[in-house]
A and B are shown apart, each in its own frame.
Chain A
Amino acid sequence: MGLFTELKDSISRVTDRLFSEQEPKRIGIYGPPNAGKTTLANRIARDWTGDAIGTESHVPHETRRARRKENVEIERNGKTVTIDIVDTPGVTTKVDYEEFTDEMEEDDAIRRSREATEGVAEAMHWLREDVDGVIYVLDSAEDPITQVNTMLIGIIESRDLPVLIFANKIDLDDSSVKRIEDAFPQHKTIPLSAKEGENMDEVYENIAEYFG
């Protein structure tokens, strides 16, 4: 390709983006604590922008405030979608600071629990007001029929948002994707391991197809 053609294509891509009527879709990553939401958000962000979003940890509520990575352009099979990834705290109905005292001093545990409660409230508020689509991450090694899972899916469905269910942690021995498919047959379930990077091609194909 000649220099002039390359330059023309480059200018064309920039103007297409500048004058595109389609704003980036705000895709919220929701799910229970420790399902691997931040690991997934980081995997997507690193694959397409080179930067991570947040700290990954086995301690519940490591993500205590919603975090956003803007303008992540995902391209698969000729389809391109630009999304803002919103990594949210794990939605739960209870937060007990004593759960953290094995890992940290009591004052830090209390501060973490306070931040976690604010983060969950913020995540629920965003769900009602600010997201265009939802990636719902579940730990496939755990029982999917738990109260917050079922309730949160109902809340998401009531807003008529497009939803993809990601059955994460398929690298674990106890993983059962079928258990999740059976629990939520009305939605497409995609198996993956965000930690190991397994099946990410299918993940990106579905994101481009579903949210594009």
Chain B
Amino acid sequence: MPTATNADDSDPPDSDGVQIDLISGERMDSMATMEKIRMILDGVHDGNIVILEEGLTPDEESRLIEVTMSEISPDEFNGIEIETYPKSETRDSSLLGRLMGSDETEAKLTVIGPANQIETLHKDETLISALVSRD
């Protein structure tokens, strides 16, 4: 059963579950590009699913791919799965927007997870459907 926790939560995740970090746009706004990338990749290395309320800028996405590539190693980490809604397609009535009480109209939802645990089943302009497994 997936659990939603705060990214600051220092308690180890339930060994039977998958930790999901829902990160607000406000929190991301205060971080430099490499801080954001480090936070995302640290979470993914721990097996977490990271959901960004406002996504990343194109330049940040480019750097995320570059840094991800530098950290791939055989039998340990084989990369990330990342799915994003286009900015113009997202509305403040989105589920995450309602969950986090956001009135942000330019929100761009991004879901990032370990490539060996998250398998995207379907994506269109309004839905990302993913299967998450424990290794």
Contact = CB atoms under 8 A, between A and B. Distances in A.
Interface of A: 91-97, 110, 113, 117-118, 120-121, 124-125, 127-128, 145-147, 150-151, 154-155, 157-159
A155 B82 CA distance: 14
Tell me what chain B mostly uses at the interface: helix, strand, loop, or mixed: mixed
B61 interface: yes
Interface residues of B, number: 27
B100 interface: no
Contacts, number: 77
A151 B70 contact: no
Nearest to B125: A145
Interface string B91-135: 000000000000000000000000110001001110000000000
A120 B74 contact: no
Interface string B55-70: 0011101110110111
B58 to A, nearest CB: 4
Contacts of B58: 151, 154-155, 157-159
A184 to B, nearest CB: 11
B2 interface: no
Contacts of A117: 69-70, 72
Nearest to A125: B66
A93 B57 contact: no
